[in-house]
Structure formats: C-alpha cells, structure tokens
Amino acid sequence: MLSKAQTVSFYLNHTIKSAPTYHTNHFMDLQIKPISSLKVVWRKDRKLDRAIENDKRYKLCYRVVKEVLNEPGQVIPLRYLEKRRERMRLKVRIPTFLTGNPGLFDSYYDRIKPRTNLVPFLRVSGRLKEFLEEERRIYGEHEPWIVSKLCKLLMMSKDKVLSVDKLVHVKREFGFPNDFLVNLVPKYPQYFRLSGCPGEGKSFLELVSWNNEFAKSVIEGRAEEESRLTGIRVRPNFNVKLPVGFFLRKEMREWIRDWMELDYVSPYEDVSHLDQASREMEKRTVGVFHELLSLSLHKRVPVPILGKFSDEYRFSNAFSSAFTRHSGIFYLSLKGGIETAMLREAYKDDALIDWDPLLEIKDKFVALLEEGWRERAERLRYHREEVKKNREMMAVGSGEYDRPVYDE
C-alpha cells in the first residue's frame, strides 16, 4: 500500500503529465529558486464559484435579520432600516425585500418620538423568535466545539494572543455566537483571559493554558485515523487534486513534488526558527491556511479577512499567492468581486461535504425562509386563479361565450 507521500508523488508524476528525471544541478536550482518566483496561472472553477452563489440569498436575509436584532428591543422604524440598505449591500428597497421574504418580521405602527406621527415599525416575528430559540439551543449543545475552535485560533498564533476586534470581525466565518466574549469566554477561565481596554481597539484575548488535545490539526487527525484503519503508518500530508483540465508547467510540478516530500509542519508548532522564505515555512503557512479553512463554517474565508491576521500567524506580504501556487489544495474564487480562499477537499462539485455541526443553524434558518417563500408562492398562485375566474365571469356576463359562430 502506498503511503500518503507516495500517493501524492504518484499523482503528480502520472496525472499531471509525468516529468522526466532531472540531474543533480537542476535539482539544486529548484531548491534555491525563490518561492515567490514560482507562478501558477489562475483558472476559474465554475462549480466552486456556484457554491458561493448558492448561499448568496441566505446570507443577505441573515444580514438584514442581524441588523434588526442588534437594535434595542429588536424593533426598528422601517425608514431607518431603509437608510442602511447600502451598508447591508441590499439592492432592493426594504418593502420589496419584506414582500419577497415573508415570515421574518411583523409590521406595526408606532411613534418614534412622543407627539409625532405614527410610522411603520418592524419587529421580530413569532416564527423568527422560534428560530432564535433553536439557535441558542444549538450553540449550547456544541459549546465544547466552539471553545476548542477559539483555543485553536489562539494556539496557532505566534504569541497565543489575538485582538478582540479581529475575533469579533471573524465570528460569522467560524460560527461564534454574537455574545461569545460576554457569555462564553468568562465561563472558561482555564483557557481564556481578556485584557486591555474594550472598545478602544486595544483589547485582547489570551490563551491561559495549552491543551494537547486541541493541538492536533485536521491533517494529523486524518493520518492517525488512516493508520488505525490500515495498520500502516501514514505520514500527515495534504490531499492534492487538481481540477480537470488544469495544467502545471514542468518546473512547478517538480517543485510541488519535492515540496510534498518535506515533513508536514503542524500549524500548532513553534516555527520562530524557520526562515520566512524557506520551503519549510511555506509548508507551515499552507498548513495554517488549511487548518483555518477547516475550522471555518463553510470551509472558505475571504482573503482580506485572513490578511488581518498576517502578523499573528506569520503570513508573508504576498501570502495570497499560496492559494494559486497550491491549486490542488485551495481554490481562489473571485465571485462577487472578493477574493475567497476555499478548501477543495471540503467540496464535491458545488456541494459542501465537510459539514460543521454549527451549520445546523443555517439549515434551520433556510427552512424558515423556504416556509415563507412557499406561502408567498401559494398566495400568488391563488391570486392568479382568482384573476382568471373573474375574467371568465366577466366574459360570460358580456355574452362573449353566447355569440353564434357562422361559417363563411
């Protein structure tokens, strides 16, 4: 049976137009060639782009819901919400959005200030309240998983400290509850410590203690499981699968093959001794990207968000080039005008197959939306039938159906 490294080497040699044996001098040239000079042409993957497009409507609805939930009392004047359309990246007016997505809010009239005219307000619907209860239940059920995620993010950072502002910015990507800093972090003083001045951009979350159970990457866990099932020791390494029709130049094929033969560097390992431009550091950086994407809800994260952690995770200034250089591991989508790094192995065509347990929340919300969409479709169908009946009755009343037909 082939080991993981042998399997990758076989794949690169036979699937991507096998490269001939090269001489020692050429091998040395490859070793010293700067990583930044190794270029791979970006190629569009329509199936993975479609995976992002499939979630577009759900994410837009959730964005509007969160806007209302963040308001005092979870109510908001309709005209105030209308003014925030650009911030929410909503292309239609709020009344049009509400018509197309019924069941999220109830509308009623109230005064913004005493002695002012009544204006339309929006509040959370009974259906949406039920979803929020389900959301709280799911978060509570999977709290240990959320804690381990947060610990892992801290453990991969060079100083085991991350900015609170940055963590709040990525909470949606990793599935953290909105109140995780207030209600979750204080419950685990054995792991977390908040320091600094909240609200001033100088607040930090620190790791208090190291947990060896958390310091195992997805790749290491996968290798251990494969070794257990086969009885053969498997080296931890990346799954490499280039899309159909993708071609790499011979020089790049050889570099990747040699790079894959290097020992895997865990994202939880101290790499302060490694040269930033070395192939070993590249292996570690790709390992960090793989682990971060594996911990994310949808196994994809916008590149600008990853860039916010460049210093904490020791990314180079040109870190995004790694996603195209390792196109068999990642895909760099440009959908929606935003660069998004995606983990190839987590998808089959446009469907996510590596399922995070917290995605149950998304399923519940999509079910809520679909219920409203079905009801709207039913109302529209009923309305069309009524219009058709009325036209037929008017036609009968006008005598159109009683007129004799004569042959010429």
Full DSSP string of 264-320: P--TTS--TTS-TTSHHHHHHHHHHHHHHHHHSSSSEEEHHHHHTTTTTTT--TTTT
Same domain assignment for residues 208 and 79: no
CA-to-CA dists, residue 380 to 97, 138, 376, 384, angstroms: 16, 35, 6, 6
pLDDT of the residue at 111: 92
The token pair that represents 30 in the structure block:
């490859």
Q: What single letter denotes the amino acid at residue 13?
A: N
Structurally, the chain folds into a number of domains equal to 3
Length of the chain: 408
Same domain assignment for residues 92 and 210: no
Same domain assignment for residues 198 and 81: no
Q: Please tell me whether residue 79 adopts helix, strand or coil conformation.
A: helix
Helix (H) or strand (E) holding 206: strand 202-207
Same domain assignment for residues 239 and 159: no
Residue whose pair of structure tokens reads 């080991």 in the numeric block: 3
The token pair that represents 26 in the structure block:
């050429």
Same domain assignment for residues 227 and 173: no
Helix (H) or strand (E) holding 31: helix 24-32
Q: How far apart are CA 304 and CA 341, in angstroms?
A: 10
* CB neighbour class for 179 (10 Å; exposed up to 12, middle 13-18, buried from 19): exposed
Could you tell me if residue 380 is inside a domain? no
Could you tell me if residue 382 is inside a domain? no
pLDDT in tens, 318-349: 899 899 989 999 999 999 889 999 999 999 99
235-261 burial code (b ≥16 CB/10 A, e <16): ebbbbbebeeeeebeebbbbbbbebbe
Could you tell me if residue 60 is inside a domain? yes
Could you tell me if residue 163 is inside a domain? yes
Same domain assignment for residues 352 and 220: yes
Could you tell me if residue 33 is inside a domain? no
pLDDT of the residue at 21: 32
pLDDT of the residue at 2: 40
pLDDT of the residue at 271: 87
Same domain assignment for residues 86 and 206: no
Same domain assignment for residues 308 and 203: no
pLDDT of the residue at 400: 56
pLDDT of the residue at 41: 78
pLDDT of the residue at 20: 33
Could you tell me if residue 89 is inside a domain? yes
Same domain assignment for residues 230 and 351: yes
pLDDT of the residue at 193: 95
Same domain assignment for residues 54 and 93: yes
The domain in which residue 113 lies consists of 46-65+74-124
- Give the end of a domain, one of 334, 356, 378: 356
Give just the sign of the alpha carbon dihedral 305, 311, 312, 316.
positive
Could you tell me if residue 309 is inside a domain? yes
pLDDT of the residue at 127: 95
Same domain assignment for residues 226 and 345: yes
Q: Mark the ranges of the chain whose per-residue pLDDT is less than 50.
A: 1-32, 407-408
Could you tell me if residue 367 is inside a domain? no
Same domain assignment for residues 228 and 351: yes
